[in-house]
Chain A
């Protein structure tokens, strides 16, 4: 279907042309690395402080917008994974559209750090449906950092998504969007009021229970947590228990971080009832993502044998 191979896309071509004149795909990070650490800050397009609302709206061309947010952990424990994410995620939109897994996807990218120790603990872009997504990815600062206490500020990102995002999908159609958090550690013990004040700018005086913010978030979002291999805590059972308790089967482990796009696309395709597991995995193999298909199949809990079960439909 569509344009032959998934790799033969305008996105990839633009990237190739850019690279040929020496423009780094991790441009903003490279720029910041040339400056003193104390002056590091989020790219203005991704700065959450003082943002009233990020919007995902229908347009004349795309009347059925489906909000998809992908926020990935950029701390040091993630190893090379953030670079892989920054490199791979740009093709998510094309992949969803070409396979018909989502009608009018609008995608927002962002990054998560540690509000106790990092200069830039949260970055959130805009919902886009064109090449500006690619620009967002290039503008994400891969700070590294993190606190070494096996927790990052995922709950702060969850708070932003629950209280500073407005979508036509929900407002007009009562339809939930998709939020994928890609990381390898635990939430902070509490959602700290001072973090909300300092990073987002809301005047919240008290701390909030982590579980309650995810409950609130789940009302308007299908929330998934992806733990990719090559990060520090891939094999740690505590991570699985923690996220399993919060999200149930929406906690997924991914063998090959390079397959993240395929996993997200297929997860959405399944939830939207646009594809079944068999066809979806065949789709992936079909376009040359055989290795990715295997990882995705495993992440989605496909076992060898005749009874292949699709993802749980979640709670309501």
Chain B
């Protein structure tokens, strides 16, 4: 039996079912002997819905294996937001998870998302008016942006209140001109520092060796946040997130401990997008029930469209290939259609070419192209599984015909995962 770690990756714009997939992989039903769920991108804006044993939780910073008691490691690539983490731990407690904070390990090098970032994020997004980027208003972009050229607060600073205090004050001064005229505010810095000190005593702040320790004890599941099509360098600029969503960082972490990885792509039987940006197969006539995805004040409405193998193939290409596919929402009536090509002003195309990494001009050209593309739709067979396997050149190893953990079934090829 191959003892491989698994990277779970959303091949669309998010909301494909990563959380439910990770929950299943961590469950005793799957029997995969998982030692930890590792988060390698994003932050508190993740919203991974898991329904299992009569419980529902939208996982944000806790890993989606929490219901099975699997610890979560927030890697150095995460943006950690302690206030939201506290609320999430309270919600988990009410769902019967005993002492959720004890399941967390946090890399001290991870960046801290603070109420100052959040106020700045919202002030900036408000100022964009109708040209907004589709931000969640959770300060993620500001956290990444500020850290580019400032000495930004990190999780380990919570252990050193004086250092943290100075960094927060510098940040407050930096953002003063943006926040002061806005309607957004944050609590006094002294209050924040006190709270971060409590945070540092309540969770385990670890160094880079923690990953190897977990890997020694069992299998690691890398839970990606958001979708590859939102990747900061590979997504459709500027409608992207300030986060490396493709598995580059996850693979680098595994390479550091010399451990193999199996990459599992996740997609629905149709496409969705929450927020602004190009979406060629969007069909506004589609109104699927979306109990856990609603219109957000900063994100805007939840959008749906037909299955799009062109976008999925692009996501697979920029991810350096995947090993298997998890196909969710098979219970859904779906749209019964999928795009086989796009009509564009310059002719019909059926693929998107990845440009050089970090070439935002190329990404902007893709965005412009997609804005003018209209899809050529084909009718799907009743069970789209093998059609999609053929389109994407990847085996479907896990299917889901419902939102619950028990709705997940390993396909015959699941042996490849194990």
Residues on A lying within 8 angstroms of B by beta carbon are 1-4, 7-14, 16-18, 20-21, 94, 97-98, 129-131
Contact = CB atoms under 8 A, between A and B. Distances in A.
Contacts of B149: none
A11 B199 CA distance: 12
A17 B195 CA distance: 8
A17 B202 contact: yes
- The main secondary structure of chain B at its interface with chain A is helix
Contacts of B83: 3, 8-10, 12-13
Contact of B188 (A21, A98, A130): A130
A18 B198 contact: yes
A205 to B, nearest CB: 44
| Complex A-B, nearest 10 residue pairs according to Cβ-Cβ distance, in ascending order | A13-B86, A17-B202, A17-B198, A16-B86, A10-B195, A14-B195, A131-B194, A13-B83, A14-B198, A131-B191
27 contacts: A1-B183, A2-B185, A2-B186, A3-B115, A3-B187, A4-B137, A7-B87, A8-B83, A8-B84, A10-B115, A11-B195, A12-B86, A13-B82, A13-B86, A14-B86, A14-B194, A14-B195, A14-B198, A16-B90, A16-B202, A17-B203, A21-B201, A97-B187, A129-B188, A130-B188, A130-B191, A131-B190
B84 A18 contact: no
Given A8-B83, A10-B191, A94-B187, 6 more contacts: A1-B183, A3-B119, A12-B86, A14-B195, A14-B199, A17-B203
Contacts of B202: 16-18, 20-21
A131 B199 CA distance: 14
B141 to A, nearest CB: 17
A172 B244 CA distance: 55
A10 B198 CA distance: 10
B283 interface: no
A48 B333 CA distance: 71
B190 A13 contact: no
Contacts of B87: 7-8, 12-13, 16
Contacts of B185: 1-3, 97-98
Nearest to A1: B183
Contacts of B190: 130-131
A22 B325 CA distance: 44
Interface residues of B, number: 31
* Max count, chain A CB within 10 A of own CB: residue among B84, B118, B194: B194
A278 B328 CA distance: 47
A60 B118 CA distance: 25
A8 B115 CA distance: 10
Contacts of A20: 89, 99, 101-102, 202
Given A8-B83, A8-B87, A131-B190, A13 B115 contact: no
A94 B115 CA distance: 13
A136 to B, nearest CB: 13
B165 interface: no
Contacts of A97: 185, 187
Interface of B: 82-87, 89-90, 99, 101-102, 115, 118-119, 137, 183-188, 190-192, 194-195, 198-199, 201-203
A1 B195 contact: no
Contacts of A13: 82-83, 85-87, 195, 198-199
A3 B86 contact: no
Contacts of A2: 119, 184-186
Contact of B187 (A1, A9, A16, A17): A9
A21 to B, nearest CB: 6
A2 B185 CA distance: 5
Contacts of B188: 129-130
A2 B198 CA distance: 22
Nearest to B82: A13
Contacts of B84: 8
A31 B89 CA distance: 27
A1 B199 contact: no
Contacts of B118: 3-4
A17 B199 contact: yes
* Max count, chain B CB within 10 A of own CB: residue among A2, A11, A98: A2
Nearest to B194: A131
A20 B188 CA distance: 24
Nearest to A12: B86
B207 to A, nearest CB: 21
Nearest to A133: B191
B192 A1 contact: no
A8 to B, nearest CB: 6
Contacts of A98: 185
A167 to B, nearest CB: 20
A11 B119 CA distance: 17
A195 B199 CA distance: 43
Nearest to A61: B188
Contacts of A7: 87
Contacts of B86: 12-14, 16-17
A54 B85 CA distance: 37
B223 to A, nearest CB: 23
A17 B101 contact: yes
Nearest to B202: A17
Contacts of A4: 118, 137
Nearest to B83: A13
Contacts of A3: 83, 115, 118-119, 185-187
Nearest to B137: A4
